[in-house]
Amino acid sequence: MEQNGKIIGKRERIEATFDRYSGEVSREAIIKDDILLHGLNFSERSLKGAYQEKAYYLFTFDSDRPEVVRERPAMIPQEICIQGGSYGLRRTIIQSRHSKDSPYSVDVLDGKRVLLLDGVPVADVSFVPRPAYYGQELRDGMRVEEVAPAIYWGETADVTAFRICEYWNRGKQCLFCDINENFRSWGHLRKGLGAIVPEDIVAESLEMASRDQGVKRYLITGGAILDSRREWEFYLRYIQRAEESLSRKLPSRLNTQALEPHALERFYETGVDYYHPNIEVWDRRLFSLICPGKEENIGRDEWIRRTAEAARLFGTGNVSPNFVAGIEMAYSQAFPHGFRNVEEAVRSTAEGIEILMQNEIVPKFDTWGLEPLSWFGRNGVSIPPLEYYPELYIRYKELKREYSMPWPAGLGEAGAGVSKVPASAFMDA
C-alpha cells in the first residue's frame, strides 16, 4: 500500500485509519471490520483448551476453502474478543473467519493468547467460552449445540431450520452466499441431521438453551423456499413449536425473505418479536444482479413494500433488514458492475438507509466476508477498501439521529466495548 509515495504496511495503514476517523468512529470498529474483511489465522497452540467451537450453521464465513480449514486438528472458536494491547482497545467481539493468508493471527505469547498484526502483538485475545447449556443430550441422542448453537457471545441461540436454499437448484442464488456449499462441506458436524431440522428437536433445544441465564433471545433462520406459501408455513411451524415450549420466555428473531402481510400477521401473533427480511444490497441494478432469485421471485420494490408493511405491524426498530455491507463494491472482469469508489457506494446504500428509516425500519449490517465457494469467490471479485465501513457508519449515525431511530432491536446493547454483534462493527462504531 502506498501513501504519499511511501510503501506502508498493514499496521501503518490501520493506524492512519484510526487517526483519520478519530472522534467519529471508534478504533474498535475499525480494526474489527478489518479483521472481518481479511479473516484470521490461528496458531496450533492458540487452539488448545476449552472454548466454544465454530458451528458452521448457515454460511462458512471463512476466507479459506473448507478443505483448508478442515485440515486443522482443532476447530477454531465461534468468536473471539480482543482487548487492551498497544491500541488500548475496549472489549470487542468478533466472528471468527479462517484465513491462512490474513495479516491478522492469534498466537500464544507468555502463556496468553494475543492478536498479531503483521507479526506484531497488538491486543489480548480471549475465545468465547462454551455456553453453560452446551453438552446436554436431546431425547434422540443429539447434543443441544448441534441444533441451537450460540452466537453473540452466548446471548443468541441460533437455529438454521433449513440448511440449504432452493435458489441454488436454479442457479439463482445470491452471489455472495455459500449456504449450500457450507452444508456440503460441514454438514457432517451434525450427523443425524439432513437439510431440514425437525421442529420438535428445535423446540426441545431452545427450551434447554432458555434455562441458561446467558441466553437472551433465539433466532430462526435458513435458506429460501421458492413457493411463498410453503416458505412461510414452514418457518411458522418452528415458531409455533418453539413458543409452545418456551411460553414467551425468550424474545425471538426471524430471518426469512420479505413475507406478505397476511403471513407476517401469523408470525406476529405467534410470538416473533424482531424480523429481518434481508435486502442485502440497495442499488436497483445490483440487487437484480446479486440477488437474482429474490428479484425474480419477489422483486425489489415488492420486497421494500413488504418490509414497510412489516414495520407497521412489528413497530419501530423491530424490523431490521440486513445489508451485506461492501458487496455493492464487488468488482471483477466477470462482474464489472460494483461501484468503483467508496463515495458512490456509501451514497447508494445511504439512500436505502434513509428510505427505510423514513418507513420506521432500522437496517443492520453484516460485514462482507468473501467466501471462496460463493459465486463471487469463484469469480475473483475484489473486496472493498476498509474506509468504506467508517464512511458507511458515519452516514448511518447521521441518518439515525436525523430520523430519531433506535438501534435495531434484538441485537443487544450498542457501543464500543459493549456490543456483542459478531459479524459487523456498526454497533461498535
Give the residues lining the site for ligand SF4 (CB under 6 A). 165, 167, 173-174, 177, 179, 223-224, 293
User: How does strand 79-84 pair with strand 89-95?
Assistant: antiparallel
How many residues does this entry show for the chain?
429
Minimum CB distance to ligand SF4, residue 159 (Å): 15
How far is the CA of 127 from the CAs of 115, 146, 300, in angstroms? Answer: 11, 19, 39
The nearest distance, CB 174 to ligand SF4, in angstroms, is 3
Please say which residue, 17 or 374, places its beta carbon nearer to ligand SF4.
374
CB of 255 to ligand SF4, least distance (A): 9
Q: Quick one: 58 exposed, middle or buried, by C-beta within 10 A (0-12, 13-18, 19+)?
A: buried
154 versus 223: smaller Cβ distance to ligand SF4: 223
| Shortest distance, position 177 Cβ to ligand SF4, whole Å | 3
Q: Whose Cβ is closer to ligand SF4: residue 123's or residue 164's?
A: 164
d(CA 234, CA 226) in angstroms, rounded, equals 12
Least CB distance to ligand SF4 at residue 29 (A):
24
Query: Are the C-beta atoms of residues 239 and 233 closer than 8 Å to each other?
Result: no
Alpha-carbon dihedral sign for residues 140, 146, 148, 150: positive
**Closer residue to ligand SF4 in complex, CB, 322/419:** 322
Beta-strand relationship, 112-117 and 120-127: antiparallel
Secondary structure of 130-157 as H, E, C letters: CCCCCCCECCCCCEHHHHCCEECCCCEE
Shortest distance, position 295 Cβ to ligand SF4, whole Å = 11
Q: Say how many Å lie between the first and final Cα of the chain, rounded.
A: 25
Nearer to ligand SF4 among residue 179 and residue 381 (C-beta): 179
Stated as kind and residue range, the H or E segment containing 32 is: helix 27-38
Q: How far is the CB of 167 from ligand SF4 (least distance, A)?
A: 5
SS3 151: strand
Q: Which is nearer to ligand SF4, 145 or 231 (CB)?
A: 231
Query: Which C-beta is closer to ligand SF4: that of 298 or that of 311?
Result: 298
The three-class DSSP label of residue 121 is strand
Pull the grid cell for residue 193: 441431521
